[in-house]
Amino acid sequence: MDKELQQIANEVEGLSEKLTALKKEIGKVIIGQEDTVSQLLITFLAGGHALLEGVPGLAKTLMIRTLSNAIDLKFKRIQFTPDLMPSDIIGTEILEEDHTTGKKFFKFNKGPIFSNIILADEINRTPPKTQAALLEAMQEFEVTYGDKTYPLDKPFFILATQNPIEQSGTFVLPEAQQDRFLLYIKIGYPTDKEETQILKATTGTKKAQLNKVLSGEDIVRLQQLVREVSISDGLIQYVSDVIRATRPDTTSVDYVKQWVDWGAGPRAGQAMILTAKANTLLEGRLAVTLEDLQRVALPVLRHRVLVNFRADAEGITSDTVTKEILKAIQLKDR
């Protein structure tokens, strides 16, 4: 067993060096935003999807494109607009003719969803009918058209962006679809120093050259290793306590009873454990700590805890609620 653990540790060390190189490549283009980049990598390692939210100009699209350029995988960008149809995403059947027999037949022409990394740009600008075209791909990693089901290539990731300040001509993602995103990542403004560096780097003639430092096989193996990262029964119980504390019916936290309409479901606990394991592996360790769980709690629960109308009016967000829960559960368990 010790020999097997040593082999895994050596493999993790080798792959960790590639992850460090990947961060370095991204840093050639993206200045700052270390937390956002780490959360995107956690999404990749955990085998899920991410929703990125930020005001215009914070390099959401550029960040995802840069990440894809440093990984040897197929990348497609889908610009979501009000007139986008489901067939524009998953594909459609076209009528073709067999030149040998002269017979006509329908052939399925695959859409851009059949790639490894999908940038769903401004996902909230398209109607629910088109948004729903992503649901099966996100959950089952396959697409059904007519009576046939087509598997998607793995690894497969959807990285979606949305703008929080524009409401005209947008369609809020239904809660069921938001729940399929592993992480809900909010991007903030750069610091004073970072903004100066951004202005200097983007207004000259120099253009960064990116190298592909990670392969699809590397990512698949990393996803397997994430599952092998150990977590104690006590920490699993802690996750269960945190998730149950988000629900007004089962919580012992008065703050939740006062401000929350709906709490998180079991998928939130799964996401919290998997992303904590991914964060552990990203840092080159093989055992989850309490700090790993608390670090991923906000992006995991941000879109799964729904505050009530009074909370909205008072400016209380799901992040505020999650922080209060983490304080209460931490004190109780310690």
Residue pair 69/211 in contact by the 8 Å Cβ criterion? no
**pLDDT given for residue 302 in this prediction:** 93
**pLDDT given for residue 144 in this prediction:** 85
Tokens in use for 172?
């809020």
Q: CB count, 10 Å around CB of 136?
A: 16
Confidence of residue 239 (pLDDT cuts 50, 70, 90): very high
Rounded to 10 deg, the angle between the 266-282 and 2-27 helix axes is 90
Residue pair 78/126 in contact by the 8 Å Cβ criterion? no
Alpha carbon of 205 to those of 66, 90, 200, 202, 208: distances in Å?
A: 18, 39, 10, 8, 10
Q: What is the pTM of this model?
A: 0.87
**Structure letter (DSSP) for residue 229:** S
pLDDT reading at 296 higher than 90: yes
Residue 66 C-beta-side C-alpha neighbours within 13 Å:
21
Tokens in use for 303?
């879109």
| Continuous segment of H or E residues that includes residue 16 | helix 2-27
What's domain 229-328's architecture? Orthogonal Bundle (1.10)
For the chain, residues classed under CATH 3.40.50.300 are 1-205+212-219
From 3.40.50.720, 3.50.30.30, 3.40.50.10190, 3.40.50.300, which CATH number describes the 1-205+212-219 domain?
A: 3.40.50.300
The residue among 71, 76, 74 whose CA lies nearest residue 91 is 76
**pLDDT given for residue 198 in this prediction:** 82
Residue 138 C-beta-side C-alpha neighbours within 13 Å:
25
Across residues 51-63, what is the average pLDDT?
A: 82
Q: What is the pLDDT of residues 62-106, one digit of tens each?
A: 888 888 888 888 889 999 888 888 888 988 888 887 777 778 877
3-state secondary structure 151-185: ECCCCCEEEEEECCCCCCCCCCCCHHHHCCCCEEE
Confidence of residue 334 (pLDDT cuts 50, 70, 90): very low
Q: In the beta sheet, which residues pair with residue 50?
A: 159, 183
Share of the chain above pLDDT 70, in %: 96
pLDDT reading at 111 higher than 90: no
Rounded to whole angstroms, how far apart are CA atoms 237 and 251? 15
Rounded to whole angstroms, how far apart are CA atoms 290 and 295? 9
